[in-house]
Amino acid sequence: MNVRRLQLDVDKAVHRPELLELAAAMEAVRGVEAVNITVTDIDVETVGTEVTIEGDGIDTDALFAAIEEVGAVLHSIDEIVVGQHLLDRVPRVRRSSGT
C-alpha cells in the first residue's frame, strides 16, 4: 500500500523530545518527504501536537517506531491517504431531514 499522507495525534513531554528532534526522527523515515508539527495544547507535563506527514511509500512501521524511540506517544491516526496521488478530504454535506 502506497501511504502518501498521515494526520497523527502525538503527545510528548514538555521538555523531551524537542520538537526539532521529533521532526528530524520522522523526516529520516523512508518515504517521508515533508513533516508539519503543530502544537495544539500544553499542560504542566505534556504537549499535544497534530502531525501531518506527506511522502511517497511512507514506511508506517518505521515512522511509528521513530516517534516512540524519541520519547513521544502516538495517540491516534486521524487521517490516511493512500494511492497514486494525494487526495484532499472533501467534507460531506448533510441535508436535514425536515427540508
In CATH, what number is assigned to the domain containing residue 33?
3.30.70.1340
Number of domains in the chain: 1
Q: What is the pLDDT of residue 98?
A: 64
Cell of 88: 484532499
Compute the distance between CA of residue 4 and CA of residue 92 in angstroms, rounded to an integer.
22
Is residue 41 a part of any domain in this protein? yes
Determine the Cα angle at 32 with ends 27 and 33, to 5°: 90
- Give the tens place of pLDDT for each residue, 80-95: 999 987 778 777 888 8
Is residue 62 a part of any domain in this protein? yes
The boundaries of the domain holding residue 58 are: 3-82
pLDDT lower than 50: segments of the chain: none
Cell of 27: 523526516
Is residue 64 a part of any domain in this protein? yes
Is residue 50 a part of any domain in this protein? yes
User: Dihedral of CA 28/21/77/63: which sign?
Assistant: positive
Is residue 94 a part of any domain in this protein? no
Is residue 30 a part of any domain in this protein? yes
Q: Is 84 left (phi over 0), alpha (psi -120 to 50) or beta?
A: alpha
